[in-house]
């Protein structure tokens, strides 16, 4: 079946959970209220449903190809990207000073989800460009901004991130690409970069590579890494494109999923050196690259939500059509669509509740990002920044792991037909796997959560979030409905488990690091589960109010049912995870290496 953007759920989150009224009160966002959000999302849905989504399966069957140094993308991609760029979608969240629309992340995140649901392979190109734009806005010189930003924001040019090398994956201290200073202030860059998404393609006139490399004589380790702009084509003083730079694609990878997205091996400097330009200061490259990576990590989390939504829609469509066996309760006398079977409903509800919980969490994180960057009060900016920074590894780690479970359930709902490529269910499962790996594996997100986000402040920020959750519990109890009380019970147990784990992590990270890090990924999954469940609890309160007022009765009832399911079937996992972390660390580390 074709993709239909979940606009009602997105707008519900934007209005009631992310509180777009408060976002539109921030300086610079005065025109970005609910009406604007609805108009933008509806227009975005048209492009993604009508133009980009139909290319998704085509990209899986006819991936990007490589021949004589050139990459040709899937038929239809180039024209679709032209429409995407001409519609102004690349510049949606970027500053008006560089030709963007300057809309808040609260709105932009929903558009990012639609694009990735429609076609994740296609969406990776704009995702990487967004990261390059963010890095240049933050650290680029006025000259670099003048040359590159408008073209990137317009979508005429695209951007890449060049971190990984054959010997340097997650350990960027091992980066060996080098940069030699030149008399004119430029640098000559040499080295090999692998896993470069859209490192070569035919959809844009120029590709702007942001490359990590070491300046000659720089310190070893992460302290000696600098960041460079290395364009595919040199840019003349009048802005026109000049000679081809010395950066070339030597191959593209053959992958399990996201097949239409060309993943390139790039060679720099085989013919005298690729001309590069320093971004910011020497030896601060990793700091700048983290700007790109943080933007990309949030976006990858949204990709998880997006692919889960697409798999859910596909599974629901199949479950309504596939006739097999009579319902177990005897409610129908003949064989019926499988959606009548309780276990199929359980799988579909798990898919739906997980996706909606993560979508709500991402929406709230986006609003915090907007406040962190635009709120006039310095303390409010600081609080929102801390909240957002804590949520980034949850959005990335929990949402992508969720997408694996959800897309796997999508195949399961299809039964044997899910294992057959022609149904299309398997593509979502294959595409989802990369999300737990790139832009930092789930373990790296968990390391960030343990080290930077919990241990560093002794769990203070995490406990401040727990205090907010406790307020929602009190509201649920005060509401007193059967659903509210049931959700309150689960949320309280989950929050208490969360606080226990935060205390354990804060107490052990330095004194007993093996114990803390043995539970790092379970801690991330627990935290993501609790925050997503908290947002659905907030959604339940809103939906009950809206239902009482007679607003969108069917939608609001479904929202209440989904929140209750999440609490009973997903949030209820939290106490068990707490036990495995706090009481089970020794079992992780006890086995001798030789015994494996």
Write out the catalytic residue numbers.
439
- Least Cα distance to 206 among 242, 163, 251 occurs for 242
Task: Quickly list H helices, 254-377.
Answer: 285-321, 342-374
Using DSSP's 3-state secondary structure scheme, residue 158 falls into: strand
- Least Cα distance to 460 among 499, 514, 426, 495 occurs for 499
How far is it, in rounded angstroms, from Cα 571 to Cα 492? 10
How far is it, in rounded angstroms, from Cα 337 to Cα 321? 6
Paired strand residues for 563: none
Q: Which residues fall within 8 angstroms of residue 103, CB to CB, at 6 or more apart?
A: 29, 32, 36, 40, 92, 93
How far is it, in rounded angstroms, from Cα 225 to Cα 228? 10
Phi, psi of 241 (to 5 degrees): -85, 140
Task: Dig out the tokens for 478 from the structure.
Answer: 């005060």
Phi-psi region of 263 (alpha: psi -120 to 50; beta: other; left: phi over 0): beta
Cβ 120 vs Cβ 430: under 8 Å: no
Phi, psi of 589 (to 5 degrees): -100, -5
- Least Cα distance to 416 among 556, 525, 322 occurs for 322
Among positive and negative, which fits the CA dihedral 312, 318, 319, 324?
negative
| 3-state SS record for 192-261 | EEEEEECCCCCCCCEEEEEEEEEECCCCCCHHHCEEEEEECEEECCCCCEEEECCEEEEEECCCCCCCCC
How far is it, in rounded angstroms, from Cα 462 to Cα 465? 5
| 3-state SS record for 27-90 | CCCCCCCHHHHHHHHHHHHHHHHHHHHHHHHHHHHCCCEEECCEEECCCCHHHHHHHHHHCCCC
DSSP 8-state class, residue 283: T
Using the CB atoms, write b or e for 442-456: b if 16+ within 10 Å.
bebbbbbbbbebbbe
Question: 317: how many CB neighbours lie within 10 A of its CB?
Answer: 15
Paired strand residues for 196: 264
DSSP for 86-136, please give it: HTT-TTTTS-GGGT-----HHHHHHHHHHHHHH-HHHHHHHHHHHHHHHHH
């Amino acid at each position: 079946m074709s993709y239909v953007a979940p606009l009602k759920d997105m707008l519900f989150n934007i209005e009631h959970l992310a509180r777009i009224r408060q976002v539109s009160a921030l300086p610079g966002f005065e025109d970005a209220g609910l009406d604007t959000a609805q108009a933008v999302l509806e227009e975005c849905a048209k492009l993604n449903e009508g133009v980009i989504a139909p290319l998704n399966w085509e990209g899986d069957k006819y991936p990007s190809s490589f021949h004589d140094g050139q990459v040709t993308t899937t038929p239809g991609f180039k024209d679709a990207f032209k429409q995407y760029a001409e519609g102004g979608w690349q510049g949606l969240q970027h500053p008006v000073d560089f030709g963007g629309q300057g809309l808040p992340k609260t709105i932009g995140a929903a558009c990012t989800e639609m694009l990735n649901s429609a076609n994740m392979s296609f969406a990776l190109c704009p995702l990487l460009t967004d990261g390059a734009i963010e890095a240049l806005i933050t650290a680029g010189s006025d000259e670099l901004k003048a040359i590159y930003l408008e073209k990137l924001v317009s979508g005429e040019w695209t951007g890449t991130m060049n971190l990984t090398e054959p010997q340097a994956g997650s350990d960027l201290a091992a980066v060996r690409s080098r940069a030699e200073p030149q008399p004119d202030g430029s640098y000559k860059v040499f080295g090999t970069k692998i896993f470069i998404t859209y490192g070569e393609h035919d959809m844009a006139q120029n590709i702007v590579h942001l490359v990590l490399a070491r300046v000659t004589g720089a310190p070893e380790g992460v302290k000696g890494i600098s960041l460079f702009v290395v364009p595919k084509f040199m840019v003349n003083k009048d802005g026109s494109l000049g000679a081809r730079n010395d950066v070339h694609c030597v191959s593209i990878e053959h992958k399990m999923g996201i097949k239409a997205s060309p993943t390139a091996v790039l060679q720099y400097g085989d013919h005298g050196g690729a001309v590069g330009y320093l971004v910011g200061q020497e030896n601060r490259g990793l700091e700048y690259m983290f700007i790109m990576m943080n933007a990309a990590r949030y976006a990858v989390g949204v990709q998880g939500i997006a692919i889960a939504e697409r798999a859910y829609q596909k599974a629901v469509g199949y479950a309504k059509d596939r006739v097999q066996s009579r319902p177990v309760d005897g409610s129908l006398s003949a064989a019926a669509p499988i959606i009548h079977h309780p276990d199929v409903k359980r799988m579909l509800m798990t898919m739906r509740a997980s996706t909606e919980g993560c979508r709500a969490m991402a929406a709230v994180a986006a609003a915090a990002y907007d406040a962190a960057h635009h709120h006039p009060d310095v303390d409010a900016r600081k609080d929102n920044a801390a909240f957002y920074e804590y949520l980034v590894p949850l959005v990335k780690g929990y949402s992508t792991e969720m997408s694996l479970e959800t897309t796997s359930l999508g195949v399961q709902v299809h039964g044997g037909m899910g294992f057959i490529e022609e149904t299309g269910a398997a593509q979502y499962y294959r595409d989802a796997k990369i999300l737990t790996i790139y832009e930092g594996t789930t373990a790296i997100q968990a390391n960030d959560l343990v080290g930077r986000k919990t241990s560093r402040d002794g769990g203070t920020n995490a406990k401040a979030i727990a205090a907010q959750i406790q307020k929602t519990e009190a509201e649920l109890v005060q509401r007193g409905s059967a659903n509210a009380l049931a959700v309150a019970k689960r949320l309280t147990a989950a929050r208490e488990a969360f606080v226990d784990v935060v205390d354990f992590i804060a107490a052990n990270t330095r004194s007993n690091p093996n114990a803390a890090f043995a539970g790092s990924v379970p801690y991330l999954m627990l935290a993501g589960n609790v925050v997503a469940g908290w947002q659905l609890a907030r959604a339940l309160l809103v939906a009950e109010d809206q239902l009482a007022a007679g607003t969108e009765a069917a939608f609001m009832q479904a929202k209440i049912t989904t929140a209750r399911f999440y609490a009973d079937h997903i949030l209820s996992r939290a106490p068990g995870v707490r036990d495995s972390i706090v009481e089970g660390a020794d079992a992780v580390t006890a086995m001798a290496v030789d015994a494996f």
